[in-house]
Chain A
């Protein structure tokens, strides 16, 4: 039931975003046919590392927080779903959507910024 609701919600979200003409990223929970390659971004010492990640559309991107501070992953311009606050060792994943360059930052420590480039 939970999964179903989540899928419906995600479908609604994706439709909503598509209709606005924005690029689409999806929460990994909604997409089981993700590409096999893993792209991991480590959060350590108030930095996203690597600072710039290039992925293929459909690949999974995962952030892991190694700091003792909570951090978030928030898209500049709300182009993909933001994470909730990640405590130490917590992860957040999305599936890369439409090709393009996506800037993001930590809304708790906005000096922390980085980029994802999605290719076809």
Chain B
């Protein structure tokens, strides 16, 4: 399988045939470049050949997800260790990311001691700014109070913990879709949050790049497993007029990507354990046991780069092997 651009009809560095080939490798370390809604891909091997540097950018940040501190079952008996490896990778980056985004499931059971362990570990990261959204595992018994007390100190959070902020001309929106879930339903944002979202983006120009992050995917990945958000269409409706919308989610512990108009949806790997591909026969949406030597290749993190003046955000997934 080649990993170079062989078809570039529009001289834009985009090889559509190559892209389709690369789709099959999702999760093995790809650079995704988003330009005008079309993706191009480059392998991490190519980046390594170019001196280990990602393309020059004005803003780089990193997504980590689903650390599940406290989990100790067969699928990964030492999630603390794999989370440490992820932090080591961040600390080893030639250019440290400006900040981290954690897309939820910090802990396995919302226990104070699990949050304590996480907080202690994350201190070793040389990037100090971390923006959080909760996963359902972080709000198990108290509706998210403990989570909110700890992780929303530096943001102007509303309602059950949603907020937005601006960095280098990019508008970031952190949403909560794991609370007040209804029987038989999916993730849920709720009316209050949706009304806030509508007002939040109202004054922004259509050329403002938007990054939305939330735990459960904001597109319907596999409703039978609850992998979707029931009212995400309404949220996306408020974002339709923007030229570049990047949606970053966790929850499903694997890389999946979808482009719809100007919106790119992307889910990240976990640092704790993998989960089965959506709809795998005989499987359920729980921890996936894989041979020990394979585990780290299915865990990882996601790096995102933005260059001012262009509408492209580059999303790179790299695993922990």
Contacts and interface: CB of A to CB of B under 8 A. Distances in A.
Interface stretch (B51-59, B284-292, B298-306): B284-292
A110 B287 contact: no
Nearest to B135: A108
A88 B75 CA distance: 14
B140 A111 contact: no
A68 interface: yes
Contacts of A84: 140-141
B137 A70 contact: yes
A113 B183 contact: yes
A103 B183 contact: yes
A69 B75 CA distance: 11
Contacts of B137: 70, 108
B141 A111 contact: no
Nearest to A69: B286
Given A76-B183, A87-B109, A69 B140 contact: no
Contacts, number: 60
Interface centre among A67, A88, A104, A111 (most CB of B within 10 A): A111
Contacts of A88: 73
Contacts of B136: 108-109
Contacts of A108: 136-137, 140, 181
B226 A109 contact: yes
B124 interface: no
Contact of A68 (B73, B141, B183, B223): B73
B108 interface: yes
A69 B287 contact: yes
Contacts of B3: none
Nearest to A107: B181
Contact count band on A: 20 to 34
B226 A110 contact: yes
Interface string A5-22: 000000000000000000
Nearest to B226: A111
B75 A68 contact: yes
A68 B74 contact: yes
Interface centre among B183, B225, B285, B286 (most CB of A within 10 A): B183
A25 interface: no
A30 interface: no
Contacts of A69: 286-287
B244 to A, nearest CB: 32
B215 to A, nearest CB: 12
Contact of A111 (B71, B75, B110, B224): B224
A85 interface: yes
Contacts of A72: 140
Interface in B266-320: 284-287
A46 B285 CA distance: 8
B184 interface: yes
Nearest to B70: A87
A104 B140 CA distance: 17
Interface in B97-111: 108-110
Given A87-B109, A110-B183, A113-B184, 16 more contacts: A47-B284, A67-B286, A69-B287, A70-B137, A70-B140, A84-B140, A85-B140, A85-B141, A88-B73, A108-B136, A108-B140, A109-B226, A110-B185, A111-B184, A111-B186, A111-B223
19 contacts: A45-B284, A46-B284, A46-B286, A74-B183, A76-B183, A84-B140, A87-B109, A108-B136, A108-B137, A108-B140, A108-B181, A109-B226, A109-B285, A110-B181, A110-B182, A111-B184, A111-B223, A111-B226, A113-B183
10 smallest beta-carbon distances between A and B, as pairs: A105-B183, A85-B140, A110-B181, A45-B284, A68-B73, A111-B226, A46-B284, A69-B286, A76-B183, A110-B185
